[in-house]
Structure 1
Amino acid sequence: MKTIHSIAAACLTLSLLSCGGDKKTDSVPAASTETATSETSTANAYDPKRGIGKHENVDVSTFDPAMAAEGRKLAEVKCTSCHKPTEEKLVGPGWKGVTQRQTPEWIMNFISNPDPMIDVDPELQKQLELCLVRMPNQGLADNEARQILEYMREIDGAK
């Protein structure tokens, strides 16, 4: 009987100790000055015509149907669970008309790396309030982002 009590006491002690939590993971670190400065400089660098990112001059002077077809395939894998090619909202907004509302540079910067733009763009923040889901970074390569842009252009009537 003493053995059972000893084992029970040991188990109780271990369970109480394990419930204490690890202070390193339970605490929320304070924002450092470096992070705050970085976010401020990112907000200051935001250009509503091109967003934030490396895409500065996207040539859309001619329509490339083969590129649009590749963009459609990519979109079917990475985008259509949240976006429709119409104006209808699914999880995210529909794509119809997006190339008329935004510049090619803005679209490519956003779909390539949405987080920095969502953090500073007032229109994207309003969209987030409506959709309630932050657009995930799909890890698109530059050529994939360009193909999806060409597909969006096709949706909007580019020929």
Structure 2
Amino acid sequence: MKSLKFLSTTIIAAVFLFACGGNEQSNNKAEADKQTTEKQEDKMPESIKMGKGVGEFTEVEVSDPLNKEWVERGQAIYDMKCSACHKLTDQRVVGPGFQGVTNRRKPEWIMNMITNVDVMLAEDPTAQKLLEECMTRMPNQNIKPDDARKILEFFRNNDVEKAGKKDEAINS
């Protein structure tokens, strides 16, 4: 009976010590992960840190009122190349919905994602997060820079219509 009591006490003590020791190990791993993330952020290009993505677009001027010609051309491109995977609401189909995109993303990021999708998915953490969520890689549609600007104008118009505001990301 004494040996059974001793064995039970020993097992309980061992479990307690093991459980406590594992927490310290978890804390060390969390700290190491945090340091790794900070080092990766230090190496990021300034354009990514500023929310502009990676690509040729470093400064995009937007104006009011919207350019209606560009909105129409942007919609035609969207209808032809984007609408199968993206909706103009917040509904995700294959890719995320576009409602409010100009309020969440800077114009440079949007245009870089449209024209430089492969590099954005390889280097931009926001694009990588979207890929993880949607689980489908956006194909390169070979959209020219001038057409990307027209798509952006269409998105700005869509945000006014669907979200009641546009360009909120510019000031963030």
Compute the TM-score of the two structures, normalised by the length of structure 2: 0.64
Aligned length: 117
CA RMSD of aligned residues (A): 1.6
Q: For each residue in 1:28-73, what CA deviation from the matched residue of structure 2 results, as whole angstroms up to 9, or x when unmatched?
A: xxxxxxxxxxxx9xx6326232111111221112211110111000
| Correspondences of 1:1-159 after superposition (within 5 Å) | 44-45=44-45, 47-48=47-48, 49-62=51-64, 63-157=66-160
Residues 117 and 138 in structure 2, CA contact (< 8 A), matched pair in contact too? yes
Q: 135-144 or 123-132, which moves further after superposition?
A: 123-132
Spell out, residue by residue over 1:68-112, the C-alpha distance to the aligned partner (whole angstroms, 9 max, x if none).
111000000000000000000010000001101111111111101
Comparing both structures, which one devotes a greater share of its residues to helix?
A: 2
Mind listing any 5+ residue stretches in structure 2 that lack a counterpart? 1-39, 161-165, 167-172
Pick 1 or 2: higher relative contact order, CA cutoff 8 A, min separation 6: 1
Paired with 1:72 and 1:155, the residues of 2 have a C-alpha distance of: 10
Distance (whole Å) between structure 1 residues aligned to residue 81 and residue 153 of structure 2:
15
Identity within the alignment, %: 42
The one-letter amino acid of 1:44's match is M
Amino acid at match of 2:97: G
Contact 2:71/2:151 (8 A) holds in 1: yes
Is the CA contact (8 Å cut-off) linking 1:46 and 1:52 kept in structure 2?
Answer: no
Q: TM-score, normalised by structure 1?
A: 0.69
**Paired residues of 2:60 and 2:107 also in contact (CA < 8 A):** yes
Gaps of 5+ in 1: 1-39
Native 8 Å contact 2:54 2:124 kept in 1: no
CA distance 1:46–1:90, shift in 2 (3 Å): farther
